[in-house]
């Protein structure tokens, strides 16, 4: 970890209620704007993301929480017409800096998507893909070891150990999502971004993923976008509430759900809209 | 009257009424569909039926069995036995002698000429080949099946009628007599026509074969495939995955779509002007034919390949990029394997079109009369569809069945080519 990372000051214009900063953040975002063509999707967002904790992002559909998540590993670069402004620092270095290689950034900041999207390859190859392209394993034995560890940490090993050569797409939805998580942690990232990882899963598979998130929190900083307030309450330590591109409120999860400060947050979590 | 005031029964009655109308419309539509499919199948059966009915007979050909005496006096009067002398020999005389031996009663120049007309001029070429290959047979006797003349062949295949008045036939009554005599003792009959598959073109129908055109087509298509598939797929990948979206790429895209609709003869003229006129490549060569057909198939392959790339689910691209794959790794490891089947479909369509093209090949000289089977990509050659064009124009009756015969070969070539591509595609196809 980079001990020299300092928290940059938050612009005084920030209207976000609550504490946006944390000590020794892994990510510091200041005045982040995102435009899709003429549409202003994210407006001057200031937020820090802490180490070894889960940040949940909630808000009604179209509020920009997924868009913001995709800023953090520059996945918005792939969208034609998308433009990101403002400063996003990972360990004190701007991720939009010319010296920051986007491929390396994505190796440090892994992502799990809404719909499980394993590669149409074997289970083994799915997990081995990241270590392979980044050259993390010196030989086959080491690669086997990485695949084994990653599948164990994702809680999938016992279910698939006898059929590592079966296609990843042959697994159930929940297993596929855990395979995607195993694939992400196989490259040993610092941060894991999860974009509604349970929205396509049944409650049992969801519970398993939530347990997994809780375990992974010890080693990784995790950002999760979710539509389920119960899920946010269960898995996260901090919660951020987005509304129409604005970051309305950030704070300890307990406080947000029991004692929200902003009227909009209160309306949302009590189910008055959204 | 307001909608909300209707009772449930009234509503159901209205639904029932509309139901009948909807089912009628559906039945009508199905009928149109079946009629259209039936008409299509009918035309295909008619087309294939006529081609096979006319062309199937080409695979059997009339041969005359004669006992040849390799007379040293005729072949090699000087007794040198050197190939140059043997090639110059009058082998025709051997055939004539054999025919005179078979029909000793025929006398007089005109009667003999009619007798000699039974056997093809190809027979003497066959004898010459045998003598040069093995001069030791000079002085011996050998019983051989020799090609009959195409007029004899047409009579045996009953493509011309012996009942026609004599002056409207190419065979005289006397010749028909010779033919009947030969058939009676089994020395004139239809045998498998190896010459059709092993010979090049010829002015004599009985000697004309498709091998030259077949090899010419194969070489041309090989060059077309080797050039157009990599270039087309490469262009599609660049345009779809790497190129920025701007005015220039828009113009390129529109022009590729326009190129796909350009008449093929224009590509032929382009090839004539650039490859032959400017770069000085040989005329009538499969090399140039392959280049021209590459120009023709490229737009098809590019368009199909781009569609195949577009059809790859974006979630796979995101997964790869999210793992930290570079753009090229994303395409090479994940997108391309999923897009290859669609690209192969494009290649099948493009190559099938290229195989059937004749107009652009006419422009670059692949329409010449070429007897030799090409042995390389710069040798003069023709192609199967051009051979169809050439033979369909000739007056001899025997070329009618040969025209259909070369169409059959062309269709078989097409089926083999497409089957190979489909097998390849199924092999690449991943369960999704």
CA distance B90 to B94: 8
Note whether B243 contacts A: Cβ–Cβ < 8 A. Answer: no
Distance of CA B1 to the CA centre of its chain: 71
Name the CATH superfamily for B211-428: MetI-like (1.10.3720.10)
Beta strands in chain A (DSSP E): 17-18, 27-36, 39-49, 54-58, 82-90, 93-94, 109-112, 191-195, 221-225, 238-243, 246-252
What six digits make up the tokens of B280? 């000085």
Q: Report the pLDDT value the prediction gives residue B363, as an integer from 0 to 100.
A: 93
Contact A180/B319, CB-based, under 8 Å? yes
Task: Give the gap in angstroms from C-alpha B230 to the nearest C-alpha of chain A.
Answer: 24
CA distance B188 to B152: 10
List % helix, strand, coil for chain B (3-state, nearest 5).
70, 5, 25
Neighboring chain A residues of B250 at a CB cutoff of 8 Å? none
Over residues B267-326, the pLDDT tens digits come to 999 999 999 999 999 999 999 999 999 999 999 999 999 999 999 999 999 999 999 899
Task: Give the gap in angstroms from C-alpha B256 to the nearest C-alpha of chain A.
Answer: 23
> Residue B124, Cβ neighbours under 10 Å: how many?
19
Contact B321/A75, CB-based, under 8 Å? yes
User: Which one of B249, B320, B324, B329 would you mutate to disrupt binding with A, by most A Cβ within 10 Å of its Cβ?
Assistant: B324
Beta strands in B272-407 (DSSP E): none
Note whether A110 contacts B: Cβ–Cβ < 8 A. Answer: yes
Over residues A65-106, the pLDDT tens digits come to 899 999 999 998 888 888 899 899 998 889 988 888 898 999
Considering only alpha carbons, which residue of chain B is nearest residue A107? B324
Q: Report the pLDDT value the prediction gives residue B2, as an integer from 0 to 100.
A: 54
Between the CA of residue B184 and those of B95, B159, B177, B388, what are the distances in Å? 20, 20, 10, 36
Q: Report the pLDDT value the prediction gives residue A4, as an integer from 0 to 100.
A: 45
Considering only alpha carbons, which residue of chain A is nearest residue B245? A80
Over residues B163-204, the pLDDT tens digits come to 888 888 888 889 999 999 999 988 999 999 988 999 999 988
Identify the residue with better confidence: A274 or B150.
Answer: B150
User: A273: pLDDT confidence band, cut at 50, 70 and 90?
Assistant: low
CA distance B411 to B396: 24
Residue A207 burial class via C-beta count within 10 angstroms: exposed 0-12, middle 13-18, buried 19 and up: middle
Numbers of helices and strands, H then E, in chain A = 10, 11
Pairing between β-strand B188-192 and β-strand B60-69 as defined by DSSP bridges: antiparallel
CA distance B163 to B176: 11
pLDDT at A172 over 60: yes
The ipTM is 0.87
CA distance B73 to A146: 90
What six digits make up the tokens of A18? 């609550």
Note whether B165 contacts A: Cβ–Cβ < 8 A. Answer: no
CA distance B323 to A259: 38
CB pairs under 8 A between A and B: 66
Residue pair A248/A262 in contact by the 8 Å Cβ criterion: yes
Q: Report the pLDDT value the prediction gives residue A3, as an integer from 0 to 100.
A: 43
Cα torsion angle, B79, B84, B90, B94, sign: positive
Neighboring chain B residues of A133 at a CB cutoff of 8 Å? 323-326, 329, 333
Comparing A47-61, B127-141, B175-189, which segment has the lowest mean pLDDT? Answer: B127-141
The residue-averaged pLDDT of B146-160 equals 90
Mean pLDDT of chain B: 90
Ranges of each domain in chain B? 2-56, 58-200, 211-428
Mean pLDDT of chain A: 88
Q: In what order do the strands lie in the sheet with A54-58?
A: A17-18, A246-252, A238-243, A54-58, A221-225, A191-195, A109-112
Task: Give the gap in angstroms from C-alpha B53 to the nearest C-alpha of chain A.
Answer: 50
Over residues B236-257, the pLDDT tens digits come to 999 999 988 889 999 999 999 9
Show Cβ contacts of residue B36 under 8 Å, excluding neighbours closer than 6 positions: none
pTM: 0.83
Q: Which residues pair with A121 in a beta bridge?
A: none
b/e map A24-46, b = 16+ CB within 10 Å: ebbbbbbebbbeeeeeebbbbbb
What six digits make up the tokens of B349? 């369509």
Backbone angles phi and psi of B323, in degrees to 5: -80, -5
Query: pLDDT > 90: what percent of chain A?
Result: 47
Note whether B422 contacts A: Cβ–Cβ < 8 A. Answer: no
pLDDT at A274 over 80: no
CA distance A247 to A46: 8
Overall size of chain A counted in residues: 274
pLDDT at A235 over 90: yes
Note whether B187 contacts A: Cβ–Cβ < 8 A. Answer: no
Q: Which of residues 277-336 of B touch A (CB under 8 A)?
A: 313, 315-326, 329, 333-334
Residue B419 burial class via C-beta count within 10 angstroms: exposed 0-12, middle 13-18, buried 19 and up: exposed
User: B430: pLDDT confidence band, cut at 50, 70 and 90?
Assistant: low
Say how many Å lie between the first and final Cα of chain B, rounded.
Answer: 54
CA distance A46 to A33: 10
Residue pair B214/B384 in contact by the 8 Å Cβ criterion: yes
Identify the residue with better confidence: B420 or B1.
Answer: B420
Q: Report the pLDDT value the prediction gives residue B256, as an integer from 0 to 100.
A: 93
Neighboring chain A residues of B319 at a CB cutoff of 8 Å? 113, 117-119, 180
pLDDT at B3 over 50: yes
Pairing between β-strand A39-49 and β-strand A27-36 as defined by DSSP bridges: antiparallel
CA distance A17 to A249: 5
Task: Give the gap in angstroms from C-alpha A266 to the nearest C-alpha of chain B.
Answer: 34
Q: Report the pLDDT value the prediction gives residue B428, as an integer from 0 to 100.
A: 80
pLDDT at B333 over 50: yes
Backbone angles phi and psi of A167, in degrees to 5: -65, 145
Long-range contacts of B100-109 (CB under 8 A, 24+ apart): B101/B67, B101/B69, B102/B66, B102/B67, B102/B182, B102/B187, B103/B178, B103/B181
Q: Report the pLDDT value the prediction gives residue B188, as an integer from 0 to 100.
A: 92
Note whether B428 contacts A: Cβ–Cβ < 8 A. Answer: no
Between the CA of residue A246 and those of A34, A43, A272, B226, what are the distances in Å? 11, 5, 19, 56
Over residues A203-215, the pLDDT tens digits come to 888 998 899 999 8
User: A272: pLDDT confidence band, cut at 50, 70 and 90?
Assistant: confident
Note whether B69 contacts A: Cβ–Cβ < 8 A. Answer: no
Q: Nearest CA to A159 among A145, A171, A143?
A: A171
CA distance B253 to A255: 56
Residue pair A20/A14 in contact by the 8 Å Cβ criterion: yes
Task: Give the gap in angstroms from C-alpha B339 to the nearest C-alpha of chain A.
Answer: 12
Note whether B33 contacts A: Cβ–Cβ < 8 A. Answer: no
Q: Report the pLDDT value the prediction gives residue B426, as an integer from 0 to 100.
A: 86
The residue-averaged pLDDT of A6-11 equals 73
CA distance A50 to A251: 12
CA distance B180 to B163: 14
The residue-averaged pLDDT of A170-178 equals 91
pLDDT at B38 over 90: yes
């Amino acid at each position: 970890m980079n001990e020299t990372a300092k928290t940059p000051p938050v612009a005084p214009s920030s209207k976000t209620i609550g504490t946006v900063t944390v000590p020794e953040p892994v990510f510091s975002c200041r005045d982040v704007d995102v435009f899709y063509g003429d549409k202003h999707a994210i407006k001057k967002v200031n937020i820090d993301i802490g180490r070894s904790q889960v940040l949940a992002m909630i808000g009604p559909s179209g509020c920009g929480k997924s868009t913001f998540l995709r800023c953090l590993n520059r996945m918005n670069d792939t969208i034609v017409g998308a433009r990101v402004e403002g400063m996003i620092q990972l360990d004190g270095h701007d991720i939009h800096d010319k010296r920051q290689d986007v491929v390396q950034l994505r190796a440090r900041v892994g992502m799990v998507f809404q719909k499980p999207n394993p590669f149409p390859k074997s289970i083994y190859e799915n997990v081995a893909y990241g270590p392979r392209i980044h050259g993390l394993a010196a030989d086959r034995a080491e690669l086997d070891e990485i695949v084994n560890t990653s599948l164990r940490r994702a809680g999938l090993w016992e279910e698939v150990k006898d059929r590592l050569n079966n296609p990843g797409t042959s697994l159930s939805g929940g297993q596929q999502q855990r395979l995607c998580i195993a694939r992400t942690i196989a490259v040993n990232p610092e941060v894991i971004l999860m974009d509604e990882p349970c929205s396509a899963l049944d409650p049992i598979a969801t519970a398993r993923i939530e347990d997994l998130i809780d375990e992974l929190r010890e080693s990784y900083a995790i950002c999760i976008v979710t539509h389920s307030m119960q899920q946010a309450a269960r898995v996260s330590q901090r919660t951020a509430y987005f509304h129409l591109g604005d970051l309305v409120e950030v704070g300890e999860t307990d406080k947000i759900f029991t004692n929200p400060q902003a009227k909009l947050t209160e309306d949302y979590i009590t189910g008055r809209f959204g | 009257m307001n909608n909300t005031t209707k009772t449930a029964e009234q509503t159901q009655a209205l639904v029932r009424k509309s139901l009948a109308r909807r089912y009628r419309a559906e039945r009508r539509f199905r009928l149109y569909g079946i009629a259209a499919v039936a008409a299509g199948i009918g035309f295909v059966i008619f087309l294939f039926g006529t081609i096979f009915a006319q062309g199937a007979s080409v695979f059997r050909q009339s041969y005359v069995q004669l006992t040849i005496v390799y007379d040293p006096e005729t072949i090699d009067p000087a007794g040198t036995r050197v190939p140059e002398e043997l090639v110059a020999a009058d082998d025709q005389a051997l055939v004539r002698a054999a025919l005179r031996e078979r029909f000793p009663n025929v006398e007089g120049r005109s009667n003999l000429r009619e007798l000699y007309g039974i056997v093809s001029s190809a027979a003497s070429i066959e004898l010459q080949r045998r003598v040069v290959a093995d001069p030791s047979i000079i002085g011996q006797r050998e019983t051989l099946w020799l090609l009959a003349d195409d007029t004899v062949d047409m009579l045996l295949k009953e493509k011309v009628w012996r009942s026609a008045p004599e002056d409207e036939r190419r065979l005289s009554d006397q010749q028909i007599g010779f033919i009947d005599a030969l058939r009676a003792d089994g020395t004139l009959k239809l045998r498998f026509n190896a010459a059709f598959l092993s010979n090049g073109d010829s002015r004599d129908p009985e000697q004309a074969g498709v091998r030259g055109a077949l090899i010419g087509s194969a070489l041309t298509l090989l060059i077309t495939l080797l050039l157009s598939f990599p270039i087309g797929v490469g262009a599609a990948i660049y345009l779809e995955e790497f190129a920025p979206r701007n005015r220039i790429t828009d113009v390129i895209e529109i022009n590729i779509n326009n190129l796909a609709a350009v008449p093929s003869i224009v590509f032929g003229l382009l090839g004539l002007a650039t490859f032959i006129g400017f770069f000085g490549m040989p005329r009538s060569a499969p090399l140039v034919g392959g280049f021209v057909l590459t120009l023709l198939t490229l737009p098809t392959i590019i368009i199909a390949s781009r569609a195949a790339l577009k059809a790859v689910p974006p979630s796979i691209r995101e997964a790869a990029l999210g793992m930290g794959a570079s753009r090229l790794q994303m395409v090479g490891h994940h997108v391309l394997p999923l897009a290859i089947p669609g690209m192969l479909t494009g290649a099948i369509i493009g190559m099938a079109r290229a195989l059937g093209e004749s107009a652009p090949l006419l422009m670059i000289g692949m329409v010449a009369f070429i007897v030799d089977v090409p042995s390389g990509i710069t040798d003069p050659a023709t192609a199967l569809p051009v051979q169809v064009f050439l033979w369909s124009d000739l007056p001899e009756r025997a070329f009618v069945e040969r025209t259909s015969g070369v169409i059959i070969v062309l269709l078989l070539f097409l089926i083999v080519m497409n089957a190979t591509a489909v097998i390849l595609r199924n092999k690449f196809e991943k369960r999704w």
